Amino acid sequence: MTRYLVRRAALLVGTLFLASIVLFVLLRLLPGDPANALLSVGATPDQVAAARHQIGTDRPLPAQFGHWLSQLATLHFGTSFVSSLPVGPEIVSRLAVTVPLTLSAFVLAVVVAVPVGFLAAHRSHTWYGALVGVVSQLGIAVPAFWLGLLLIWVFALRLRALPAGGFPPDGWAAPGEAVRALALPVVTVALVMAASLIRYVRSATLDVLGSDHLRTARALGSSFVGAMWRHGVRNAAVPVVSVLGIELATTFLGAVVIESVFALPGLGSMLVRGIAQHDYPVIQGVLFVSTLAVLVVGFLADVAQRLIDPRLRGRV
Protein backbone atom coordinates (compact mmCIF):
# COMPACT_ATOMS: atom_id res chain seq x y z
CA MET A 1 0.00 0.00 0.00
CA THR A 2 2.86 2.37 0.82
CA ARG A 3 4.48 1.74 -2.55
CA TYR A 4 1.17 2.44 -4.24
CA LEU A 5 0.72 5.73 -2.37
CA VAL A 6 4.21 6.89 -3.31
CA ARG A 7 3.66 5.93 -6.94
CA ARG A 8 0.29 7.69 -7.11
CA ALA A 9 1.69 10.81 -5.44
CA ALA A 10 4.52 10.93 -7.99
CA LEU A 11 2.00 10.43 -10.79
CA LEU A 12 -0.11 13.27 -9.42
CA VAL A 13 2.87 15.66 -9.41
CA GLY A 14 3.85 14.62 -12.94
CA THR A 15 0.30 15.09 -14.18
CA LEU A 16 0.16 18.56 -12.63
CA PHE A 17 3.36 19.50 -14.45
CA LEU A 18 1.99 18.28 -17.78
CA ALA A 19 -1.29 20.09 -17.10
CA SER A 20 0.60 23.33 -16.45
CA ILE A 21 2.32 22.98 -19.84
CA VAL A 22 -0.96 22.32 -21.63
CA LEU A 23 -2.70 25.24 -19.92
CA PHE A 24 0.14 27.62 -20.75
CA VAL A 25 0.36 26.58 -24.41
CA LEU A 26 -3.39 26.55 -25.07
CA LEU A 27 -3.88 30.00 -23.61
CA ARG A 28 -1.21 31.42 -25.89
CA LEU A 29 -2.93 29.86 -28.90
CA LEU A 30 -6.21 31.65 -28.20
CA PRO A 31 -6.97 34.67 -30.41
CA GLY A 32 -6.70 38.11 -28.88
CA ASP A 33 -4.03 40.13 -27.13
CA PRO A 34 -4.33 40.47 -23.33
CA ALA A 35 -2.68 43.90 -23.59
CA ASN A 36 -5.86 45.21 -25.22
CA ALA A 37 -7.72 44.73 -21.92
CA LEU A 38 -5.56 47.49 -20.44
CA LEU A 39 -6.06 49.93 -23.31
CA SER A 40 -8.91 51.89 -24.79
CA VAL A 41 -10.07 51.60 -28.37
CA GLY A 42 -7.66 53.17 -30.84
CA ALA A 43 -4.49 52.67 -28.81
CA THR A 44 -1.26 53.37 -30.67
CA PRO A 45 1.34 50.67 -31.39
CA ASP A 46 3.64 52.27 -28.79
CA GLN A 47 0.91 52.04 -26.15
CA VAL A 48 0.27 48.39 -27.02
CA ALA A 49 3.99 47.63 -26.78
CA ALA A 50 4.17 49.38 -23.39
CA ALA A 51 1.17 47.37 -22.14
CA ARG A 52 2.76 44.13 -23.29
CA HIS A 53 5.96 45.03 -21.49
CA GLN A 54 3.98 45.89 -18.35
CA ILE A 55 2.28 42.48 -18.17
CA GLY A 56 5.30 40.55 -19.44
CA THR A 57 3.81 39.08 -22.63
CA ASP A 58 6.60 40.58 -24.73
CA ARG A 59 9.13 38.13 -23.25
CA PRO A 60 9.92 34.79 -24.93
CA LEU A 61 7.44 32.01 -24.16
CA PRO A 62 9.99 29.82 -22.32
CA ALA A 63 10.78 32.76 -20.03
CA GLN A 64 7.07 33.34 -19.37
CA PHE A 65 6.54 29.64 -18.62
CA GLY A 66 9.54 29.49 -16.31
CA HIS A 67 8.28 32.55 -14.44
CA TRP A 68 4.87 30.91 -13.98
CA LEU A 69 6.41 27.66 -12.72
CA SER A 70 8.48 29.58 -10.20
CA GLN A 71 5.31 31.25 -8.98
CA LEU A 72 3.53 27.89 -8.67
CA ALA A 73 6.42 26.52 -6.64
CA THR A 74 5.72 29.22 -4.04
CA LEU A 75 1.91 28.86 -4.33
CA HIS A 76 1.75 32.30 -5.92
CA PHE A 77 -0.44 32.46 -9.02
CA GLY A 78 0.74 35.79 -10.26
CA THR A 79 -0.95 39.16 -10.55
CA SER A 80 -4.03 39.92 -12.58
CA PHE A 81 -3.32 41.84 -15.78
CA VAL A 82 -6.50 43.88 -15.35
CA SER A 83 -6.91 44.52 -11.61
CA SER A 84 -3.19 44.31 -10.69
CA LEU A 85 -4.22 42.29 -7.63
CA PRO A 86 -2.70 38.94 -6.58
CA VAL A 87 -4.63 36.03 -8.06
CA GLY A 88 -4.00 33.62 -5.17
CA PRO A 89 -5.96 35.47 -2.45
CA GLU A 90 -8.88 35.99 -4.81
CA ILE A 91 -8.94 32.26 -5.61
CA VAL A 92 -9.00 31.49 -1.89
CA SER A 93 -11.92 33.88 -1.34
CA ARG A 94 -13.79 32.36 -4.29
CA LEU A 95 -13.19 28.84 -2.97
CA ALA A 96 -15.14 29.87 0.13
CA VAL A 97 -18.21 29.77 -2.14
CA THR A 98 -17.37 26.99 -4.61
CA VAL A 99 -16.15 24.40 -2.09
CA PRO A 100 -19.15 24.60 0.30
CA LEU A 101 -21.47 24.51 -2.71
CA THR A 102 -19.78 21.42 -4.17
CA LEU A 103 -19.35 19.48 -0.92
CA SER A 104 -22.84 20.24 0.40
CA ALA A 105 -24.42 19.15 -2.87
CA PHE A 106 -22.26 16.02 -2.91
CA VAL A 107 -23.24 15.01 0.63
CA LEU A 108 -26.93 15.66 -0.02
CA ALA A 109 -26.81 13.67 -3.26
CA VAL A 110 -25.17 10.69 -1.53
CA VAL A 111 -27.67 10.78 1.33
CA VAL A 112 -30.51 10.65 -1.19
CA ALA A 113 -29.02 8.34 -3.83
CA VAL A 114 -27.64 5.49 -1.70
CA PRO A 115 -30.86 4.44 0.10
CA VAL A 116 -33.07 5.18 -2.91
CA GLY A 117 -30.80 3.24 -5.27
CA PHE A 118 -30.59 0.30 -2.85
CA LEU A 119 -34.36 0.11 -2.42
CA ALA A 120 -34.85 0.44 -6.18
CA ALA A 121 -32.61 -2.61 -6.67
CA HIS A 122 -34.19 -4.57 -3.82
CA ARG A 123 -37.66 -3.82 -5.22
CA SER A 124 -36.66 -3.91 -8.86
CA HIS A 125 -39.71 -5.96 -9.91
CA THR A 126 -42.22 -3.62 -8.28
CA TRP A 127 -43.74 -0.33 -9.33
CA TYR A 128 -41.38 1.47 -6.97
CA GLY A 129 -38.29 0.18 -8.74
CA ALA A 130 -39.70 1.13 -12.15
CA LEU A 131 -40.69 4.60 -10.91
CA VAL A 132 -37.23 5.28 -9.50
CA GLY A 133 -35.67 4.23 -12.81
CA VAL A 134 -37.90 6.61 -14.77
CA VAL A 135 -37.37 9.52 -12.38
CA SER A 136 -33.58 9.06 -12.31
CA GLN A 137 -33.44 8.90 -16.12
CA LEU A 138 -35.51 12.08 -16.29
CA GLY A 139 -33.18 13.77 -13.79
CA ILE A 140 -30.15 12.91 -15.93
CA ALA A 141 -31.81 14.38 -19.02
CA VAL A 142 -32.73 17.68 -17.35
CA PRO A 143 -30.00 20.37 -17.74
CA ALA A 144 -28.73 21.77 -14.45
CA PHE A 145 -29.31 25.40 -15.49
CA TRP A 146 -32.94 24.67 -16.43
CA LEU A 147 -33.58 22.98 -13.09
CA GLY A 148 -31.96 25.93 -11.33
CA LEU A 149 -34.22 28.39 -13.13
CA LEU A 150 -37.25 26.25 -12.25
CA LEU A 151 -36.32 26.23 -8.55
CA ILE A 152 -35.80 30.00 -8.66
CA TRP A 153 -39.26 30.46 -10.15
CA VAL A 154 -40.90 28.25 -7.51
CA PHE A 155 -39.04 29.05 -4.28
CA ALA A 156 -37.80 32.59 -4.93
CA LEU A 157 -40.41 34.22 -7.17
CA ARG A 158 -43.59 32.36 -6.26
CA LEU A 159 -43.10 31.31 -2.62
CA ARG A 160 -40.50 33.99 -1.79
CA ALA A 161 -38.90 31.55 0.64
CA LEU A 162 -35.30 31.76 -0.58
CA PRO A 163 -33.16 34.32 -2.43
CA ALA A 164 -32.95 33.99 -6.20
CA GLY A 165 -29.20 34.54 -6.29
CA GLY A 166 -26.24 36.46 -5.02
CA PHE A 167 -24.11 36.01 -1.91
CA PRO A 168 -23.91 38.23 1.20
CA PRO A 169 -21.14 40.87 1.05
CA ASP A 170 -19.86 39.70 4.45
CA GLY A 171 -19.61 36.12 3.21
CA TRP A 172 -19.57 33.48 5.93
CA ALA A 173 -19.40 36.19 8.58
CA ALA A 174 -23.17 36.14 8.12
CA PRO A 175 -23.70 32.34 8.18
CA GLY A 176 -27.49 32.45 8.06
CA GLU A 177 -27.58 34.56 4.93
CA ALA A 178 -24.79 32.53 3.34
CA VAL A 179 -26.64 29.26 3.93
CA ARG A 180 -29.85 30.73 2.49
CA ALA A 181 -27.95 31.99 -0.56
CA LEU A 182 -26.50 28.51 -1.22
CA ALA A 183 -29.71 26.58 -0.52
CA LEU A 184 -31.13 26.60 -4.05
CA PRO A 185 -27.77 26.07 -5.81
CA VAL A 186 -26.98 23.13 -3.51
CA VAL A 187 -30.37 21.51 -4.13
CA THR A 188 -30.01 22.05 -7.87
CA VAL A 189 -26.61 20.38 -8.07
CA ALA A 190 -27.61 17.63 -5.62
CA LEU A 191 -30.71 16.64 -7.59
CA VAL A 192 -28.79 16.36 -10.85
CA MET A 193 -25.98 14.40 -9.18
CA ALA A 194 -28.38 12.14 -7.26
CA ALA A 195 -30.21 11.18 -10.44
CA SER A 196 -26.97 9.80 -11.88
CA LEU A 197 -25.80 8.19 -8.65
CA ILE A 198 -29.09 6.35 -8.14
CA ARG A 199 -28.55 4.44 -11.36
CA TYR A 200 -25.03 3.39 -10.37
CA VAL A 201 -26.06 2.39 -6.86
CA ARG A 202 -28.98 0.41 -8.24
CA SER A 203 -26.79 -1.35 -10.80
CA ALA A 204 -24.07 -2.19 -8.26
CA THR A 205 -26.66 -3.49 -5.80
CA LEU A 206 -28.33 -5.66 -8.44
CA ASP A 207 -24.94 -7.23 -9.25
CA VAL A 208 -24.43 -8.06 -5.58
CA LEU A 209 -27.96 -9.39 -5.10
CA GLY A 210 -27.39 -11.84 -7.94
CA SER A 211 -23.90 -12.92 -6.81
CA ASP A 212 -23.05 -16.46 -5.70
CA HIS A 213 -21.44 -15.45 -2.42
CA LEU A 214 -24.59 -13.66 -1.28
CA ARG A 215 -26.79 -16.66 -2.15
CA THR A 216 -24.35 -18.93 -0.31
CA ALA A 217 -24.49 -16.75 2.78
CA ARG A 218 -28.29 -16.83 2.71
CA ALA A 219 -28.25 -20.62 2.25
CA LEU A 220 -26.02 -20.94 5.34
CA GLY A 221 -28.63 -19.21 7.45
CA SER A 222 -27.70 -15.52 7.31
CA SER A 223 -30.52 -13.01 7.19
CA PHE A 224 -30.81 -10.72 4.18
CA VAL A 225 -29.61 -7.71 6.19
CA GLY A 226 -26.74 -9.66 7.73
CA ALA A 227 -25.62 -11.12 4.39
CA MET A 228 -25.74 -7.72 2.71
CA TRP A 229 -23.81 -6.07 5.52
CA ARG A 230 -21.07 -8.70 5.67
CA HIS A 231 -20.75 -9.65 2.00
CA GLY A 232 -22.72 -7.21 -0.14
CA VAL A 233 -22.03 -3.65 0.97
CA ARG A 234 -18.27 -3.81 0.48
CA ASN A 235 -18.54 -5.35 -2.99
CA ALA A 236 -21.17 -2.86 -4.09
CA ALA A 237 -19.22 0.07 -2.67
CA VAL A 238 -16.11 -0.45 -4.83
CA PRO A 239 -17.62 0.68 -8.19
CA VAL A 240 -19.81 3.27 -6.46
CA VAL A 241 -16.80 4.95 -4.81
CA SER A 242 -15.17 5.32 -8.22
CA VAL A 243 -18.31 6.94 -9.58
CA LEU A 244 -18.54 9.21 -6.53
CA GLY A 245 -15.05 10.52 -7.24
CA ILE A 246 -15.96 11.25 -10.85
CA GLU A 247 -19.21 12.95 -9.86
CA LEU A 248 -17.50 15.13 -7.25
CA ALA A 249 -14.82 16.21 -9.71
CA THR A 250 -17.41 16.87 -12.43
CA THR A 251 -19.51 18.94 -10.05
CA PHE A 252 -16.52 21.05 -9.06
CA LEU A 253 -15.63 21.71 -12.70
CA GLY A 254 -19.25 22.38 -13.62
CA ALA A 255 -19.71 25.01 -10.93
CA VAL A 256 -19.39 27.72 -13.59
CA VAL A 257 -22.90 26.96 -14.86
CA ILE A 258 -24.65 26.99 -11.50
CA GLU A 259 -22.69 30.00 -10.27
CA SER A 260 -23.75 31.88 -13.39
CA VAL A 261 -27.41 30.98 -12.88
CA PHE A 262 -27.42 32.05 -9.23
CA ALA A 263 -24.91 34.94 -9.58
CA LEU A 264 -22.50 33.43 -7.05
CA PRO A 265 -18.97 34.87 -6.68
CA GLY A 266 -17.17 31.53 -7.00
CA LEU A 267 -14.40 30.15 -9.16
CA GLY A 268 -16.74 29.77 -12.12
CA SER A 269 -17.57 33.46 -12.37
CA MET A 270 -13.90 34.30 -11.85
CA LEU A 271 -12.97 32.06 -14.77
CA VAL A 272 -15.61 33.60 -17.03
CA ARG A 273 -14.36 37.08 -16.23
CA GLY A 274 -10.75 36.08 -16.84
CA ILE A 275 -11.59 34.57 -20.24
CA ALA A 276 -13.55 37.65 -21.29
CA GLN A 277 -10.60 39.90 -20.39
CA HIS A 278 -7.82 37.59 -21.65
CA ASP A 279 -6.40 37.72 -18.14
CA TYR A 280 -3.83 34.90 -18.33
CA PRO A 281 -2.88 34.74 -14.63
CA VAL A 282 -6.54 34.48 -13.59
CA ILE A 283 -7.34 31.79 -16.17
CA GLN A 284 -4.19 29.81 -15.40
CA GLY A 285 -4.74 30.04 -11.66
CA VAL A 286 -8.38 28.93 -11.73
CA LEU A 287 -7.75 26.07 -14.17
CA PHE A 288 -4.68 24.89 -12.26
CA VAL A 289 -6.58 24.81 -8.96
CA SER A 290 -9.47 23.00 -10.66
CA THR A 291 -7.08 20.44 -12.16
CA LEU A 292 -5.44 19.95 -8.77
CA ALA A 293 -8.84 19.40 -7.14
CA VAL A 294 -9.84 16.81 -9.75
CA LEU A 295 -6.55 14.92 -9.38
CA VAL A 296 -6.76 14.92 -5.58
CA VAL A 297 -10.34 13.65 -5.68
CA GLY A 298 -9.30 10.85 -8.05
CA PHE A 299 -6.38 9.99 -5.78
CA LEU A 300 -8.62 9.80 -2.70
CA ALA A 301 -11.17 7.68 -4.59
CA ASP A 302 -8.46 5.19 -5.60
CA VAL A 303 -7.20 4.99 -2.01
CA ALA A 304 -10.74 4.48 -0.71
CA GLN A 305 -11.29 1.64 -3.18
CA ARG A 306 -8.19 -0.17 -1.94
CA LEU A 307 -9.20 0.29 1.69
CA ILE A 308 -12.64 -1.15 0.95
CA ASP A 309 -11.54 -4.08 -1.22
CA PRO A 310 -8.44 -5.99 0.04
CA ARG A 311 -8.06 -7.63 -3.38
CA LEU A 312 -6.95 -4.30 -4.85
CA ARG A 313 -4.23 -3.62 -2.28
CA GLY A 314 -1.69 -5.86 -3.97
CA ARG A 315 -2.01 -4.02 -7.29
CA VAL A 316 0.53 -1.34 -8.02
Mean pLDDT of 281-299: 86
- Residue 89 CB-density burial (10 A; 0-12 exposed, 13-18 middle, 19+ buried): exposed
Q: Which residue has the higher pLDDT, 72 or 209?
A: 72
Whether pLDDT at 153 is above 90: yes
Q: Which residue would you say has higher pLDDT here, 4 or 285? A: 285
**How much is the pLDDT for 234?**
64
pLDDT value at residue 155? 92
What is the reported pLDDT for 152? Answer: 92
The pLDDT > 70 percentage for the chain reads 85
Tell me the one-letter amino acid at 73. A
Torsion angle of the four alpha carbons 238, 240, 242, 247, in this order, in degrees rounded to the nearest 10: -170
- DSSP states along 67-109: HHHHHHHTT---B-TTT-SBHHHHHHHHHHHHHHHHHHHHHHH
Residue 211 has a pLDDT of 65
| Cα separation, 181 vs 49, whole angstroms | 44
**In this predicted structure, what is the pLDDT of residue 256?**
73
Between CA 302 and CA 155, with CA 193 as vertex, the angle to 5 degrees is 150
Residue 145: its pLDDT value, please?
84
- Helices of type H across the chain: 2-29, 45-55, 61-73, 87-122, 127-141, 144-151, 175-209, 212-219, 224-227, 233-253, 255-261, 267-276, 280-308
Amino acid 233: pLDDT: 65
Residue 120 has pLDDT above 70, yes or no: yes
Q: What is the pTM of this model?
A: 0.81
Mean pLDDT of 94-118: 89
| Range ranked top by mean pLDDT from 18-27, 54-63, 150-159, 229-238 | 150-159
- Confidence band of 100 (pLDDT split at 50, 70, 90): very high
At 133, the pLDDT band (50, 70, 90 cuts) reads: confident
- Where is average pLDDT lowest: 83-87, 148-152, 154-158? 83-87
- Name beta bridge partners: 86: 79
Residue 144 or 41, more confident: 144
Residue 314 has pLDDT above 90, yes or no: no
Q: Is the pLDDT of residue 150 over 70?
A: yes
Reply yes or no on whether the pLDDT at 172 is more than 90. no
pLDDT score for 117: 84
Contact 287, 16 (CB under 8 A): no
Task: Say whether pLDDT at 236 is over 70.
Answer: no
